[in-house]
């Protein structure tokens, strides 16, 4: 099992290196600025991934992978980025929160981070603008309707990318 994993990583690494070599070759032969930028961006991404995979390999080699490098199993929890499809299942929207209940979800001590805007409760646990469950001095676990409208008025698209977990009891 483990050997298979390492073989997989090796394959991925080789693919990335091939890609990078090809990119470097193309870069040296093109004068198209916009293309150069695209290729540079891809090179940057490749190198980042190579870095990631090599770290993974090094950790496996040192046999301490279990603790630090065990990816979350629940992918929904992680990728707020892919949550643009808004997983609004019927169960989650029907869940009701009082302000007091909401305040428990402050992102501290293992709790997820929720915030309410206009009566809807959103999960910001893995949102990139909410590092450590804080955002420009605001804390999670609160009704932030006023704060949202004062900074992001008319930017409903921000909310549309957040997973909905329920509604706030008024």
Partner 1 sequence: MSQHVLPPEPMTNEAIASRLTNLAKKKIRDGLIKKKNLVYLELNGCSGNIISLLNGQNPDFEYTMNSMVNILYSNSLMASEGEQAIQRLMNALDEDYILAVEGAVALKNNGLYNIIGSWKGEPLTGLKAAKMLGEKASQILAVGACATHGGVSAAKPNLSESVGLQTILPEKKMIKLPGCPVQPDWFLGTLAHLLLYGEPETDNLGRPLMFYSTLIHDRCPRRPFFDRGIFAEKLGDKTCLFKLGCRGPVTRIDCPTRQWNGHVNWPIGANTPCIGCAQFGFPDAMAPFISYDTTRVVKNE
Across-strand partners of 101?
A: none
30 binds partner 1, rule: CB under 8 A: no
16 binds partner 1 (CB under 8 A): no
18 binds partner 1 (CB under 8 A): no
Q: Interacting stretch for partner 1, rule CB under 8 A, among 77-85, 88-96, 143-151, 153-161?
A: 77-85
Determine, following the binding rule CB under 8 A, whether residue 33 of this chain makes contact with partner 1: yes
User: Cβ distance 121 to 168 under 8 Å?
Assistant: yes
Distance (Å, rounded) from C-alpha 87 to C-alpha 84? 8
Side-chain-facing half-sphere of 150: CA atoms under 13 Å: 6
The piece of 12-20, 71-79, 88-96, 153-161 that touches partner 1 (CB under 8 A) is 71-79
Under the criterion CB under 8 A, does residue 55 sit at the interface with partner 1?
yes
Cβ partners under 8 Å of residue 58, min gap 6: none
For partner 1, which residue of 128, 150, 154, 157 counts as binding (CB under 8 A)?
128
Torsion region of 115: left, alpha or beta (phi above 0 gives left; psi -120 to 50 gives alpha): beta
Residue with tokens 């198209």: 32
- Which parts of this chain interact with partner 1 (CB under 8 A)? 33, 36-37, 40-41, 44, 47-49, 51-52, 55, 68-69, 71-72, 74-75, 77-79, 81, 107-113, 125-126, 128-129, 131-137
């Amino acid at each position: 099992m483990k050997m298979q994993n390492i073989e997989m990583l090796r394959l991925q690494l080789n693919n990335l290196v091939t890609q990078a070599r090809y990119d470097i070759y193309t870069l040296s032969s093109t004068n198209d600025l916009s293309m150069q930028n695209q290729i540079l961006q891809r090179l940057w991404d490749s190198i980042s991934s190579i870095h990631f995979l090599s770290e993974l390999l090094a950790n496996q080699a040192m046999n301490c992978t279990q603790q630090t490098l065990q990816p979350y199993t629940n992918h929904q929890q992680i990728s707020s980025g892919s949550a643009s499809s808004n997983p609004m299942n019927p169960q989650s929207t029907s869940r009701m929160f009082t302000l007091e209940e909401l305040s428990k979800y402050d992102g501290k001590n293992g709790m997820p981070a929720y915030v309410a805007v206009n009566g809807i409760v959103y999960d910001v646990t893995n949102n990139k603008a909410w590092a450590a469950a804080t955002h420009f001095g605001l804390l999670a676990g609160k009704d932030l309707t006023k704060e949202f409208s004062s900074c992001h008025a008319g930017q409903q698209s921000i909310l549309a990318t957040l997973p909905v977990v329920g509604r706030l009891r008024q």
